[in-house]
């Protein structure tokens, strides 16, 4: 993967978040990890994996905790490296830090695996807008009217320069480019990426790019049918 930046400033690897318990999926995840739930005829994680593979990264890594043997059996033959979290799940920030030996020291993409994108590849959207001279993280966000299967307020507001602050009409879609050096200063073992983002926001280095297509949250049972309808039909 390349853009106009110096090579060491460009993301080389991708982390797929796949360690969670999927509690919002209720009975569907009692014996199946959420990323393996079928959506439009294939495991949910494969929709994101296909987008990740199209970027031809150096490494694709998935973090595992809940029912890891099922995910490992599916992902390892596809060339995905596995970052096992044990005895406890480490949340997004802790999970990213734990996976760094597999990801390397350059900025990385991270991606949630319980969403569906309809439109251009969100990894490419992020890469096209990435400016490491100004940014420590760049989040791909979607305006609420183009979000499906999600209720509630947005996550961020984006100013005219692309910097973001909490609250507003943009929803974080789960794909970002992030520099990882700041993880070393966080004392907790289990922590959300929100801690890292808060530090970056205070320094004026947390940015977003608006995704031009549509997006669906498949974190709950009702989201499956909504996602399948989004995949099957044209939307404007």
For the chain, domain boundaries: 9-232
The total of other beta-carbon atoms located within 10 Å of residue 203's CB is 9
d(CA 187, CA 209): 30
Please check whether residue 232 is in contact with residue 225, taking contact to mean a CB–CB distance below 8 angstroms: no
Please check whether residue 15 is in contact with residue 46, taking contact to mean a CB–CB distance below 8 angstroms: no
Q: Percent of the chain having pLDDT more than 70?
A: 97
* pLDDT reported for residue 234: 81
Which pLDDT band holds residue 151 (cuts at 50, 70, 90)? confident
Span 18-63, pLDDT tens digits: 999 998 898 999 999 999 999 999 999 999 999 999 999 999 999 9
* pLDDT reported for residue 66: 94
Which pLDDT band holds residue 236 (cuts at 50, 70, 90)? low
The H or E element containing residue 49 is helix 44-53
d(CA 145, CA 171): 10
CA separation, residue 134 to residues 4, 86, 120, 127 (Å)? 14, 36, 24, 14
d(CA 47, CA 54): 11
Reading the block at residue 42, the tokens are: 């294939």
Q: Which top CATH class is 9-232? A: alpha beta
The total of other beta-carbon atoms located within 10 Å of residue 53's CB is 16
Residue 145 has pLDDT above 70, yes or no: yes
Q: Percent of the chain having pLDDT more than 90?
A: 92
| Overall average pLDDT of the 204-225 stretch | 97
Q: What angle do CA 58, 61, 64 make, to 5 degrees?
A: 175
Which pLDDT band holds residue 4 (cuts at 50, 70, 90)? very low
| Overall average pLDDT of the 118-144 stretch | 98
* pLDDT reported for residue 5: 46
Residue 103 has pLDDT above 90, yes or no: yes
* pLDDT reported for residue 235: 74
How confident is the prediction for the chain on average, in pLDDT?
95
Residue 137 has pLDDT above 90, yes or no: yes
Which pLDDT band holds residue 1 (cuts at 50, 70, 90)? low
């Amino acid at each position: 993967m390349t853009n106009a930046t110096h090579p060491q400033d460009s993301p080389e690897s991708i982390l797929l978040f796949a360690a969670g318990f999927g509690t919002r999926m209720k009975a569907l995840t009692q014996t199946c990890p959420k990323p393996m739930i079928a959506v439009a005829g294939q495991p949910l994680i494969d929709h994101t994996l296909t987008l990740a593979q199209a970027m031809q990264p150096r490494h694709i890594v998935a973090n595992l905790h809940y029912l890891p043997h099922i995910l490992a059996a599916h992902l390892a033959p596809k060339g995905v490296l596995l970052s096992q979290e044990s005895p406890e799940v480490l949340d997004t920030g802790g999970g990213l830090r734990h996976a760094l030996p597999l990801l390397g020291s350059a900025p990385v993409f991270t991606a949630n695996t319980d969403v569906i994108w309809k439109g251009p590849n969100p990894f490419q959207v992020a890469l096209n807008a990435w400016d490491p001279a100004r940014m420590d993280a760049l989040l791909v966000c979607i305006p609420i009217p183009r979000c499906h299967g999600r209720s509630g307020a947005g996550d961020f507001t984006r100013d005219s320069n692309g910097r973001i602050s909490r609250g507003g009409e943009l929803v974080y879609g789960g794909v970002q480019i992030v520099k990882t050096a700041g993880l070393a200063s966080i004392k907790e073992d289990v922590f959300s990426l929100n801690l890292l983002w808060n530090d970056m926001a205070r320094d004026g280095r947390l940015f977003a790019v608006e995704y031009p297509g549509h997006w669906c949250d498949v974190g709950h049972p009702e989201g499956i049918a909504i996602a399948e309808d989004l995949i099957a039909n044209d939307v404007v």
